[in-house]
Structure 1
Amino acid sequence: MLELLLYENDGNCRVIEKLEDIKKEVKNKDALLWLNVEKPTEKDMELLIQCFNFHPLAIEDCLTSIQRPKIDRYDDYLFIVLHAATLSPHKDKATSLELDTFIGQNFIVTVHMKPIKSVASARSRCIKNPQILSKGPAHLFYTIADSLVDNYFPILAQLDKDIEKTEQLIFKDHASENVSKILNLKEIVLTLRRFIGPQREIVNFLARGDYQPTISADLSIYFRDIADLLARISDTLDGYRDILTNILDGFTSVTSNKLNEIMKVLTIIATIMMPLTLVTGIYGMNFQFMPELNWKYGYFVILFIMLSIGGSMLLYFKHKKWL
């Protein structure tokens, strides 16, 4: 799906969706163009090559949805790959939403396979306030990137709630599904860290002014703010990772102690049963002449001896504080 936002010198912003009109308007060098391509087809990408003369390698990257965040400089435009993030409906998995952006002198082209909140938000803002587009394509990219990074914070807030809830449950109920929850949360944290790491590097390049004149020195200051946000997100994720590791270690320790207590009880029972088994084994031998077998009180005496042995061993264990 193609959509073109056209900002003209008179301050008006037009939304163009018809393919023929888009082909005509993208040649307008006096206007600022934002072409948004969602769920691109091969024909859409051919249009980008024809109208903007984008490099085939950059076009190929747009069609590959697992591209690592990066920035490439071409003759008259920049190609930047960033990743938004979203949680699955059950909030048990983090997925990446790739955003490919071309930034030129009078145009910005965004390409993405799925809807991205930051792009939709920037589009709405530009339609309501066209003056945003008057600041140029690089500033529009900053607006999109800033919104993209801001959308990580609701995910962090959800993670914080889930971690706190799991931490409270895990020491009340030692069910195995709680361990699965911890491991699942840890996987989400590690996935988000993989998204954030490379993007910090890219934004730091832009904040240092390494890509002038496309990203001007004045605009580089704005990217420092995004760099600070990414640093906060990264530090928060590191904190979550450490918390989850500590919870898992604590759960393992509690479970191990509980298992040791069970094994101690079973060992004591087995130890008490050993001499009793010896006594019953002796009197269970199939000999014809065993004096106690014909004695009237033999059964009660043996039973008393067995109870005495068991009781004595229990007192001994208690004296040693093994019970």
Structure 2
Amino acid sequence: MSKKKPFLSRHLIPKINLFPQKKGSKIGLPPGSMVFTGKKKIEDVTIELTHYDEEFYEQKKISLKELPNVLENRKKVTWIDVDGLHDIETLEEIRQIFSINKLTMEDILDVDQRPKMEVVEDYLYVSVKMIRKEPEGDALDVEQVSFLLRQDLVITFQEREGDVFNYVRGRLENSIGNIRKRGSDYLLYALLDSIIDSYFVVLEGIGSRLEDLEEAAINNAGDETLNRIYFQRKQLMAIRKAIYPLREVSVVFQKHEGPHVSQEIHPFLQDLHENITQVIELLDGFRDFSGSLLDLCMNILSNKMNQIMKVLTVISTIFIPLSFVAGVYGMNFENMPELHLRNGYFYVLGGMFVAVMGMLLYFRWKKWF
């Protein structure tokens, strides 16, 4: 016996992590314990150094041993990008070199951390989610990016190489705009702005797919369409989890008063807050639209089922009197006068035909089909 096909096919819905992973490995450990909660995505930890001023720019890969010299001979602004969080020993050395608080490093290694901003000792800590579309299919890659902002220094921590900061690197290399004339706080703003801009790209793709799903639901609603709509709703839930806390982060960033953030970039931070608000409004609109699509698809399928049931009911209603007549004259009694009529068979067939036509005309008059 063949198995019944599930209403929502599991193989058609790629897995999306909506809930924290590997939290059990931290149970019972003291605060500040360095435990990486994600998956190993690259073999070795890589460090990229970018330092610049108005007249100078350099970008290169460096080793862990070169980091102390970077602090001694850095230019106006230094950006250190650390890719790979699985090597705890290497991350511990980096923590000691830059005097990073153990609680901050614990948050950096907890890749399911809620996006937030904190002022810790002599630096500003920011944690956000970077969202990109996978090269194949419609799945999304959600990666945590952590930032440390110090005077003339920005440190980023990522799970693997590859990000959405290439436009910022291009502006630095080609000295586009005033980015090389400003400080590290403006660099942090530019990096955060690149992540926010990538949200628009991701949501634009989801919006296009939702439009296609609307047409598919109207023209040919089925289990596959339901699966695709449900998958898009799961994606929107994952994006919502990553984006909603950013509004709070932008507000804290705007209100922060200290040596880390200058008054000159406050207008840019206001623009960042407005972009985050726009992303959230767009996300809410897509969530409502996907819910409406799901209801539309279910209603169309329900309407199709009702049409099928209506046709079957009409057919059953037509055959009820015919079955009654056939049952009556199928009884084996001798005293049935109609059985001895010469044309009785044709009379019964004619009566049955008149009954069928009468019921069809009545159903048509009632507009039941």
Query: What TM-score do the two structures reach when normalised by structure 1?
Result: 0.89
Structure of larger gyration radius:
1
Match of residue 78 from structure 2: 33
User: Does residue 227 of structure 2 align to residue 180 of structure 1?
Assistant: yes
Distance 1:167 1:12 in 2: 49
Shift of 1:288: 4.5
Q: Cα–Cα, structure 1 residues 174 and 14, in superposed 2: closer, same or farther, change >3 Å?
A: closer
Distance 1:253 1:204 in 2: 42
Match of residue 198 from structure 1: 245
Code of the aligned partner of 2:236: V
Match of residue 32 from structure 2: none
Match of residue 351 from structure 2: 305
Q: Cα–Cα, structure 1 residues 259 and 14, in superposed 2: closer, same or farther, change >3 Å?
A: closer
Using the TM superposition, name which of 134-143 and 284-293 deviates more. 284-293
Query: Which of 181, 191, 202 lines up with 1:144 in the alignment?
Result: 191
Instruction: Could you tell me which runs of 5 or more consecutive residues in structure 1 were left unpaired when the two chains were aligned.
Output: none
User: Does residue 267 of structure 2 align to residue 221 of structure 1?
Assistant: yes
Query: Which of 56, 64, 71 lines up with 1:19 in the alignment?
Result: 64
Shift of 1:62: 1.8
- Contact 1:92–1:184 at 8 Å: present in 2 too? no
Code of the aligned partner of 2:144: E
Instruction: Could you tell me which runs of 5 or more consecutive residues in structure 2 were left unpaired when the two chains were aligned.
Output: 1-45
Query: Which of 95, 110, 130 lines up with 2:141 in the alignment?
Result: 95
User: Does residue 101 of structure 2 align to residue 61 of structure 1?
Assistant: no
Distance 1:55 1:104 in 2: 13
Q: Cα–Cα, structure 1 residues 221 and 274, in superposed 2: closer, same or farther, change >3 Å?
A: same
Pairing of 1:270-285 with structure 2 (within 5 A): 270-285=316-331
Determine helix, strand or coil for the equivalent of 2:66. Answer: helix
Match of residue 2 from structure 1: 47
Q: Cα–Cα, structure 1 residues 193 and 281, in superposed 2: closer, same or farther, change >3 Å?
A: same
- Contact 2:51–2:74 at 8 Å: present in 1 too? no
Using the TM superposition, name which of 198-207 and 123-132 deviates more. 123-132
Deviations 1:262-298 (A, max 9, x none): 2222212211211111111112223355443344323
Q: Cα–Cα, structure 1 residues 29 and 320, in superposed 2: closer, same or farther, change >3 Å?
A: closer
Using the TM superposition, name which of 287-296 and 140-149 deviates more. 287-296
Using the TM superposition, name which of 93-102 and 126-135 deviates more. 126-135
- Higher fraction of helix: 1
Determine helix, strand or coil for the equivalent of 1:240. Answer: helix
Q: Cα–Cα, structure 1 residues 12 and 262, in superposed 2: closer, same or farther, change >3 Å?
A: closer
Code of the aligned partner of 1:105: Q
Match of residue 89 from structure 2: 43
Shift of 1:103: 0.9
How big is the alpha-carbon RMSD for the aligned residues of Structure 1 and Structure 2?
Answer: 2.5
Determine helix, strand or coil for the equivalent of 2:105. Answer: helix
Using the TM superposition, name which of 23-32 and 167-176 deviates more. 23-32
